Amino acid sequence: MKLLHPVLLALALCAGAGSCAAAKPAASKARTAHAKKTAPHPGPAAARHGVKARAHAKATKAAARHAYHHVEPKVDYEGQQVDFTQWSAVTAFADEVALRHGFVRTELEALFAQVHYVDSAVQLVKPAPPGKPKNWQAYRELTIEPVRVGAGVKFWNENAATLARAEAEYGVPAEIVAGIIGVETVYGRNTGRFRVLDVLTTLAFAYPDTPNRAERMAFFRDELENTLVLARQNHVDPLTMLGSFAGAVGMPQFMPGSVLAYGVDYDHDGVIDLRNSAADAIGSVANFLVQHGWQRQETGPLVYPAHVSPSRAWERFLNQGLSARFTARALNDAGVVTDAAPAPDLLFGLVDLQNGADPTDYWLANDNFFAITQYNRSYFYAMAVIELGHAVKVARAEAPAA
C-alpha cells in the first residue's frame, strides 16, 4: 500500500477530527446572490457575449467533470469486499438516510453492496503511541520546504486575480488562503486517493476501540450521510469520490459536511468542485475562516514572538481554549514580554510550540490565528499555515518577472 507523506497523514487526520466535525449552515449562497445583485449591469451586446462565454465554460467544465467521474478511480489501498448490507447498523442507517433525504432504499442497498472495508483507514486513525515529544522545528522543516514553496508561487501566480478577489470580499489575506491549501495538499498535488465512501463507511461502523469511539463513529456516520447528499447534489457517482483516509476531499481537504456548509461556487459554474476548481477551493477556504471567527479589521500580525519570565506565573494562560481571551496587559503582568508593543487592551492567547528537548517557543496569538485552528485544531498547523504563506509571498516577490 502506498501511503501519503506522514505529515500529510497527520494533517488529514487532524482536519477530520477537528473543525469539520462541527459543520454549520454557511452564507455562501447569500454571498453569491449579493455579488450578482451588486455587480455592474453590462450592455446588451456584452451581456449576450458574457452569457455565451459562461455557457461555454460551464459546458466545458461539466464535460471534464463527467469524464473525470466516469473513469475507474485509482486508489492507494487494497480494500476488502464485505457485505455491509448484512450489518444491522448499516441497514438501519440506510433506512434513516432514505427517509430523511428521499433516497431510494434499494439503490442505497445496491451502493453499500459495492463498498469495501479499508483496514488501513482503521489503523491510521488510531492514536499515535505515547511518549514521543512534540517538535515544532522538525514539523516546520517538513512543511516549509522548497518544493512546497515553489508550488505555492506557481499556484499564486496562476490564481492571483481569484486570491485578490477573495481577499477583498472576505478580508482573508491571500497568503493565508495559499498557506492552507499548501499545507493541506501541496496545492492540489496530494488530494488523496481513497474512495471516500469506503473509508467513511469503514470508520462509521468499524472504528477502532478508543476512548472516544462512540463520538467518532457518530461523526463519520454524519459525514457518510453528507457524502451521499453531496454526490446527489453534484450529480456524481459517490463511489468515484476520492479523498484522504479520513474522507477529506479536494485541494483544501474539506470533509463532505464542510463542503455542504462552507463550500462556495466561486467560479459561478453551478457546482462546488474542490478537487478540480482552484477558484472554488480559494473561495471556500476564505469563507470557512470567516464563518469560524476571522476578523477583517485585525490587520496586524497574527502572532507576536514572546519571552516568558522564570517566575512561571504565566503558565495559567496556557491551554485555555482556541480563542484570544486575555489582554496584552494581563499577559505582560504575568511575565509574558514581546519585542513589539501591541495595544494593551488587545486580546491574545498564549501559544506554546514545543521543540522536543530544546526550549519551547512562545507566541501571543490573536483571534485570526485561532480561526485557523478551527480548520485544524493544532498550534503547529496554524503556525505552519502562517509561515508557509509568508514564505510563498516572499519568494513570489523575489522571483524574476516572467
> Catalytic site residues?
184
21: cell is 466535525
Q: Going by DSSP bridges, is the β-strand pair 326-327/347-355 parallel, antiparallel, or unpaired?
A: antiparallel
For residue 326, give the amino acid letter.
F
Query: Cα separation of 196 and 206, whole Å?
Result: 15
Q: By the 8 A CB rule, do 369 and 301 touch?
A: no
Distance CA 179, CA 281 (A): 12
Q: Which residues pair with 364 in a beta bridge?
A: 304, 350
Residue environment code for 235-244, b if the CB has 16+ CB neighbours within 10 A, otherwise e: ebebbbbbbb
> Would residue 356 be called left, alpha or beta, if left means φ above 0 and alpha means ψ between -120 and 50 degrees?
left
Q: How many Cβ atoms sit within 10 Å of the Cβ of residue 79?
A: 18
The span from the CA of 106 to the CA of 103, in Å, is: 9
Query: What would you report as the CA-atom Rg of the chain, rounded to the nearest whole angstrom?
Result: 22
**E strand map for 33-135:** 80-81, 116-117
**34 grid coordinates:** 449579493
| Strand, coil or helix: 217 | helix
Percent helix / strand / coil, the chain, rounded to 5? 55, 10, 35
> What letter does residue 84 receive in the DSSP assignment?
G
- CA atoms within 13 Å, Cβ hemisphere of 42: 9
Residue 192 backbone zone (phi > 0: left; psi -120 to 50: alpha; other: beta): left
